[in-house]
Amino acid sequence: MKPQKPLWFILVLFFVVPSVKGPSFSAGTWRSAYVEATRAHFGTIAAAPLPADSLFSRERHVIKLAEGVYEIRHEDPFPGWVHGNTTVIIGTKEVFVVDSCQLSTSARGDIAQIRQWTSKPVRYLLNTHWHLDHTGGNKDYMDEYPSLTIIAHTETRKMMDATSMSLPSLMLKEATATQARLQKNIETGKSPDGKPLTERDKAETVQKLALIGAIIDQAKGFAYRGPTLIFDRELIVDLGNREVHIKHLGRGNTAGDAFVYLPKEKILITGDLLDHPVPYAFDGYPSEWIQTLERMAQLDAETIVPGHGEVLHDKTFLYQVIDLMKSVVAQVNKQLNLNYEATLDEVKKSLDVKSFRQAIAGDDKANAGFFDNSIGSSFVELAYYEAKQR
């Protein structure tokens, strides 16, 4: 039986920088027929260099994707404690927002920015999935726009309803532990590994303490605002001269992944079905995830806003992630076909994703470490138990 991952495991992703070392990789390469087929259509895929991107964003920035369509990447409070991207779509009558990020302070900054762009009301907020880094600001939008409709997939609402009670206490627990650690650093003048703090380290720690205070306040004042409109396959909203297509093309990162497609503008807003620079694969349904991404890739899109990370201007990375996931699932199945009794550890050790790791994470240590955790450990585990259940 697949061990059920507790809620804290999923949520802790947003609080803690994974520091566990990934498995070692054996030599050899694997290429799916799919890579070759897509290459024929789109040129070189898996080996194409990717734009530099980081898991952690040090500053907030806004990108105009089309007239009246903006992507906001937030300043992440701490490495590992991150916000999902927010996308704002403005029609002639009303405004649609994709994901409300994690912290109230950031969501309120987004709302202030939206008010500068337009006096039209935010009428719709889509939660692409239930994770807190995409839903934490729901209350702020609801407070500001009382006629707001919060949209989500049926399964997403179920998860949000089920986890809403435990969220504030989890958030508070993680935040107070971080606060205590930071305060200790200031008091002792040393980092946890015993190294003396430089003046810059001290200033950064003071800054982080202020941020953690805001997180603690949010946890204490948390009020759940769940979805008020649910859908199963597709929902089309007309904002006034602008159609927003909300789709669920199958399970992936969660059971209720929703994404947005703007057909006229050829923009895809993917939620965590696709994250840049490294996929977040700590939960999900590996084989179905691949199919969902393949269906998504059929849509005519020139701009892709991932759930995290920089805006992408072609489908290179999308195909790269499909190839990577296919490779892992195929390798895991192959090992289990050879020996059904193979342990998870043995399967992990046999995995070879070196070429993907190099193409996706390059020489960036943080990205490579995250890749090892997300793909080399977690995604393999998901694929292992999925294969075992067959």
Would you tell me which residues interact with Zn ion (CB under 5 A)? 84, 133, 272, 307
| Residue 346 Cβ vs Zn ion, minimum distance, rounded to whole Å | 31
CA dist., res. 233 & res. 258, Å (int): 9
| Residue 65 Cβ vs Zn ion, minimum distance, rounded to whole Å | 19
| Residue 207 Cβ vs Zn ion, minimum distance, rounded to whole Å | 23
Which CB sits closer to Zn ion, 127 or 327? 127
| Residue 253 Cβ vs Zn ion, minimum distance, rounded to whole Å | 8
Which CB sits closer to Zn ion, 68 or 279? 279
User: What is the token pair recorded at 243?
Assistant: 């159609």
The closest alpha carbon to 255, from 142, 327, 163, 344, belongs to: 163
Q: Which residues pair with 98 in a beta bridge?
A: 87, 126
* 198 HSE (CA, 13 A, CB side): 2
CA dist., res. 301 & res. 315, Å (int): 8
Q: Is the peptide bond before 23 cis (omega within 30 degrees of 0)?
A: no
Give the Cβ contact number of residue 380 at 10 Å: 26
If you count them, how many residues does the chain have?
Answer: 390
| Residue 4 Cβ vs Zn ion, minimum distance, rounded to whole Å | 21
| Residue 135 Cβ vs Zn ion, minimum distance, rounded to whole Å | 10
Which CB sits closer to Zn ion, 77 or 307? 307
CA dist., res. 192 & res. 210, Å (int): 19
- Which amino acid would we find at residue 362? G
User: What is the token pair recorded at 83?
Assistant: 């916000």
The closest alpha carbon to 232, from 152, 134, 130, belongs to: 152
Which CB sits closer to Zn ion, 91 or 256? 256
CA dist., res. 67 & res. 258, Å (int): 23
Handedness of CA 164, 273, 2, 55 (dihedral sign): negative
| Residue 322 Cβ vs Zn ion, minimum distance, rounded to whole Å | 19
Phi, psi of 268 (to 5 degrees): -115, 135
| Residue 85 Cβ vs Zn ion, minimum distance, rounded to whole Å | 9
Which CB sits closer to Zn ion, 128 or 350? 128
CA dist., res. 125 & res. 147, Å (int): 11
Which CB sits closer to Zn ion, 105 or 127? 127
Which CB sits closer to Zn ion, 133 or 372? 133
Which CB sits closer to Zn ion, 306 or 376? 306
Which CB sits closer to Zn ion, 174 or 272? 272
| Residue 280 Cβ vs Zn ion, minimum distance, rounded to whole Å | 6
Q: SS3 of 285, please?
A: coil
The closest alpha carbon to 83, from 57, 53, 65, belongs to: 57
